[in-house]
Chain A
Amino acid sequence: MTLNEMKDLVLKYVIKEYIDDDDVTITYETPLISSGYVDSFSMVSLLVFLENKFKIKIPPSKATPEAFDSVNSIVALVNQYLK
C-alpha cells in the first residue's frame, strides 16, 4: 500500500466515524483533536481500526492526542510500527 493509499484509507475512516456536518471539509493536514472535530475519548475506535487494518500494535503511550491530530500524523505513527 502506498503512502497516499494509507492516507486515503485513514481519511475515509475519520470522515465516516467522526464527521457529522456535511459542511466540514477534512484534509490530510486538518487538525482533528485540537480543533474539536474528534474528542480524545473517541480515539479508542480509531486505534482499534488502525491496529486491525494494518495488523500492528500501537503502545498506549504512543496513542496520544498529538499523534492522532491529523491524518498525516496518524499515518506517520502507523508507519513506525509497520514491518
Chain B
Amino acid sequence: MNNKNDLPESNRRDFLRNASLATMMAMMGGVELRADDAAKSAPAPDAGLTKIPPAPPINVGVIGLGGWGREILTQFGKINTDPTRAKKDSAPVVAVCDIYHAAVRKAIKDTPNAQPYEDYTKLLADPKVQAVIIATPTGTHKEITLAALAAGKHVYCEVPLATTIDDAKEIAKAARGLVKLIFQPGLQQRSHPQIEFLLPFIRSGALGKYVMVRGQWHVNDSWYQAAPTPEREAALNWRLHNATSTGLLGEEGIHQIDTVSHFLRGRPASVTGFSSTIRNYTDNRDVPDTVQAVFEFPHGVNFFHDLTLCSSFQDKHEVYLGDEAAMMMRDFKAWLFKEAGAHEGGWEVYARHDRFYKETGIALVAGASKQTTLAGTAESFNPYDHVPLYYALDAFADRAGRLTDEVSKRAEMYSDEESSSLAAYLKTVSALNSKPAANWQDGLDATVMAIIANQAAVKKQKITFEKEWFEL
C-alpha cells in the first residue's frame, strides 16, 4: 500500500550519534540543569540570528458556537491574555457566528467586543475578519471553507474535514495552491509540544522494532445534547446519525489515528472494523456507541483502536510497543517502559520514574526542570500549561499573522509580483513555520482514514485503502 516512507526513517545508532549529550539531556529530562548552566555562560556568537519577533496580530472570526466553538473561544481568551506572551491580544475574536440565536447571544457574553452574526456569509463579508475558525457540523465544512478561502480569509477547519472523501478532496484542492492564505486542519495534536518533542525520538527506532500500537478513547457519556425545541435538538445532535456523522472513529478517533500515522510515518493498507450499540437509547440514533478498528500499517505493525461511550476505564491513551521498549502517551505525558536487558542511556538516571502496577515508566518530557520533573505523582505531574487546542489555535494565529504581514510588506515592495515569485520568496521565510501545525495533506489523509475506518466499523468488515483516495 501507499507508504510515505519506510520506517523507521533513521536508526537508533544514527540518532545517538547525531544527538549531542546536551540534546539528549534536553530531550530526556534533567534539561534545566543544563539550560541553567548555559544561561550563566556568555551567549553563543551569532545567537541573535535565531530571534523570532512576535507575530503581528490577526483578527479572528469563529463560526459554529456549539460546545466545541465555546471551547475555542475559551482558548482564544487564554491566548489573548497569557502574561508570558510578548504581545497581548495577538488573536482578538472580532466576530462570532451561529445559526442559533441563543448560541450567539451566549458567546457574546464571553466576547463582548465581537460582532454577532447568524449568517456565515455576512461574517465572511466583514472586512475586519482576517481569519476564521470553522467549528460547525462536519457535513457543512466544505461549503463554509470554500466560501471563506474565496473571501480571502485564513481558515482553521475542524476535523474530519468532511463526511465524504470527495468533499474532503475539494477542500484539499482549494487549500493546496494557497500562497497568501493559511489553511490548517484541526489536527490539534500536531501542534502540541509533547508530540513535537517525541517525534524524533520515536522515529529513531528507540523502541527497537515496532510490534504494534494500541489506542483507546473511553468515556462514559451519551453524546446526546438536550435542546429546548425538536428542531434545535435535531441540529445539535448531528453526531448521532450516520447520515451526518463519521461516528466515534471519525469525530473523536481521528486525532489518535492521525498521531499514530504521523509517528509511524505511513498510511495503513487496510482497516477492519467492528461496532455495537451497548446501551438502549431513545433518541433514534444509528451511530454505534462502541467501536473497534484494526489498521494494518507497513511492516506488519497493526494499530488496535477502540472507542466507547459506555466505559471510562483508563480514559484515553496510546501505547507504542517495540521489542526493546514500549512508550505510553496519556494526558499528553509519555513514559518509556524498557524490556529487561535493553540498552540503558545515561539520561535515564536524571529522569523521573513512575510505578504503574508492576512496571516502571521513565518519564519522557521536555522543558521541565529536574526538580519539577521529579515532584508529585504520575497523575499530578503536568509538564504542559495548555490543552492541545490552545497550541493549535496559537500556531494558526501565529502563522496567519506572519503570512499576512509578509504578503503586505512584499506587495508594498513589488506591486505586481507574480504569484510564483511570491511563493518562492515565502518559502525562504522560516518564521512562517516557527510553530508546528498540520497542513492540507495531513488533513486529507486523516479524514480519509477516519471516514473509511468508520465505514468499516459500521459495516463490520475489512476495507482496503485505495491510493487515489489520498491524492488530488
- Do A and B come together as binding partners? no
